[in-house]
Structure 1
Amino acid sequence: MKLRCAVLDDHQGVALGLGDWSRIAEQVDVRALHHHLGGESAVADAVGDCEIVVIMRERTPFPATLFARLPRLRLLITSGMRNASVDLAAAARHGVTVCGTSSNSEPPAELTWALILGLARHVVPEAGALRSGGRWQSTLGTDLYGRRLGVIGLGKIGTQVARVGQAFGMEVAAWSPNLTEERAAEAGVELAASKEALLAAADFVTLHLVLGEHTRGLLGEAELKQMRPTAYLVNTSRAGLIDQDALLKALGEGWIAGAAADVFDEEPLPPAHPLRTAPNFLGLPHLGYVTRRNYDGYFQQAVQDIEAFLAGEPVRTLGRPATG
């Protein structure tokens, strides 16, 4: 009897075309779900018959309570090699191997600049006016050349964003809780004296940190008030880095010129969420990693992960079942 595999959150309907699933067709029946499953009960009902589940990043969380509702599950594959929404300890307790795939850092860095440029040059309202026959030229763009870019988090993505800022002729400063003078010098950027100093001096602030105990709520009301009223804030990392109520207040009361985000506390963002209509806000539906090159890698390597699991030699493992 064949094993069953479900691919979740295939919103674009591309998963079965980008991986060579024929390689496991004799042993595994694969189906793709093209809509988001809201809540644990919906997930358990949809994949309760499956031994293998493939998930996309952190779109569908797998906490301990969900593993308990999926007794048939033996292999969980996530795109990327880090997924904070999967309880790896619970997976091990329930005998589930968790594997991942590679993920490229360039796409989210590129999207960060799409958002920065979209804010600076008012791309969405101007394009909307052109399409609707509205007013011809109604905004003044903000220059990048000579302005100051503040990068919070100078890892792979933050470093790439900093390099592009330098190419635009911007002054670039960086800060993170553990950033050193040596690391900043390697990237060719200034080390800000503090988070507060970076926020107060930057014309554009962009976040590139991992969400954790010490970074959750990193920017709250006090920090947003330290920014210039002409400054822009961009977040393509994790929504929890910014206090979302404070962000709404900052936009509504004009503490900052505008903000852009590709990440939200709840995804998909509810239709009535106030960020959808917040002034001077540019939002995208978590597209940072959504490119052809990344998706090719995700689904091709998902097939490889399944093949290795079937052979008893799983690779790219995030978590293994407990033994003994």
Structure 2
Amino acid sequence: MKVLVATEKPFAAVAVEGIRKVMDEAGYELLLLEKYQSKEQLLEAMADVDALIVRSDKVDAEVINAAGNLKIVVRAGAGYDNVDLQAATARGICVENTPGQNSNAVAELVFGLAVMAVRNGYNGTSGSELKEKTLGIHAFGQVGRNVARIAKGFGMEVSALDPFCPDEVMAEAGVKPVHSVESLYADNKIVSLHIPATDATRRSVGRDLITLMPKGGVLINTARKEVIDEEGLAQALEQRPDIKYVADVKPDNADELTARFGDRVFFTPKKMGAQTSEANINAGIAAARQIVDFLNNGVDTFRVNK
């Protein structure tokens, strides 16, 4: 079996070593394509591989169809909108993600952004504290649950909205279930986004929701830029000069927002939620193990194109 790790932004060396160890133990051949400069390089490398591991690399129909032997694609991370699920399913190819491996890293970044926002970007002026502030978590998956855990340490009052998560699960975590998106935004000083980019969620967070937030509200996005209605965000910031927006997913209109609203907005240079050595290692090795488990035993626990 041949397994290709194709990463424009490579895994840490220790992660590659861990992946190689998993493949060696399984008797598989590991191929590396790191820091590739063109799609043609990726297409060429796909020629006879049985499995593919990627990070945020684009795996479209052309890439999938370039590999006649391809059986499984694993996205090392939680989000998988960079993989064409329809094209993979048409070929009978399993697509998996590695949920939970990056969760703590993303959750910690949420609070790095939150503290920076409430302390006014450390500009020397008086800010506020997170203790006893209300935090609304928009989607209570693995990341959202880690956010709730950390928020408790800050002494925050936490609520969450997730129609796919039972109220009992939230209650066990000390989180108040919320059943309408309007209530989530209206009742929380800080809202942290963790929804995926789907047909139902793209551009779903815009002016109407953001302007419901209490005075001094902070919206934090470590999910996907596509869930934000960027024009509506600009309108909300214009209408409500007390609101801030901070994200590790730079919007297409980032320059306009920065020019208009200054330090009320902040964007990391690139998506940094999973940019820790621990998350990098965990996700890469998990992807390798899932490939071996699928190819050897048919296990597809983390399949996303069922």
TM over 0.5: yes
1:230·1:257 contact (CA, 8 Å) conserved in 2? yes
Aligned position for 2:104: 106
Asked if 1:144 corresponds to 2:130, the answer is: yes
**Separation of aligned partners in 1, 2:181 and 2:255:** 29
Which letter maps to 1:204? I
Instruction: Report deviation, 1:229.
Output: 4.3
CA RMSD of aligned residues (A): 3.7
Post-superposition CA distance 1:110-164 (Å, at most 9, x none): 11111111211234x54xxxxxxxxxx2x22122223222222233322332233
**Separation of aligned partners in 2, 1:246 and 1:291:** 32
User: Match for 2:219 among 226, 233, 244?
Assistant: 233
**Separation of aligned partners in 1, 2:166 and 2:228:** 23
1:78·1:99 contact (CA, 8 Å) conserved in 2? yes
**Separation of aligned partners in 1, 2:144 and 2:247:** 15
Asked if 1:281 corresponds to 2:268, the answer is: no
Which letter maps to 1:90? A
Asked if 1:10 corresponds to 2:3, the answer is: no
Alignment CA distance shift 1:303-1:195 (3 Å): closer
Alignment CA distance shift 1:18-1:224 (3 Å): same
Aligned position for 2:206: 220
Query: Would you say how many aligned residue pairs link Structure 1 and Structure 2?
Result: 299
**Separation of aligned partners in 2, 1:99 and 1:143:** 40
1:211·1:240 contact (CA, 8 Å) conserved in 2? yes
Instruction: Report deviation, 1:91.
Output: 2.0
Q: Unpaired segments of 5 or more residues in structure 1?
A: 127-136
Aligned position for 1:19: 19
**Separation of aligned partners in 2, 1:89 and 1:6:** 22
Alignment CA distance shift 1:305-1:214 (3 Å): closer
**Separation of aligned partners in 2, 1:192 and 1:101:** 27
Instruction: Report deviation, 1:189.
Output: 2.9
Aligned position for 1:31: 32
Aligned position for 1:131: none
User: Match for 1:290 among 271, 275, 278?
Assistant: 275
**Separation of aligned partners in 1, 2:164 and 2:205:** 17
Instruction: Report deviation, 1:195.
Output: 2.3
Q: Unpaired segments of 5 or more residues in structure 2?
A: none
TM-score (norm 1): 0.74
1:19 match: secondary structure: helix
Asked if 1:84 corresponds to 2:85, the answer is: no
Rg larger in structure? 1
**Separation of aligned partners in 2, 1:122 and 1:63:** 41
Q: State percent identity of aligned pairs.
A: 25
**Separation of aligned partners in 1, 2:234 and 2:17:** 40
Instruction: Report deviation, 1:54.
Output: 1.8
Which letter maps to 2:267? G
Alignment CA distance shift 1:183-1:25 (3 Å): closer
Instruction: Report deviation, 1:179.
Output: 5.8
1:158·1:208 contact (CA, 8 Å) conserved in 2? yes
**Separation of aligned partners in 2, 1:4 and 1:118:** 41
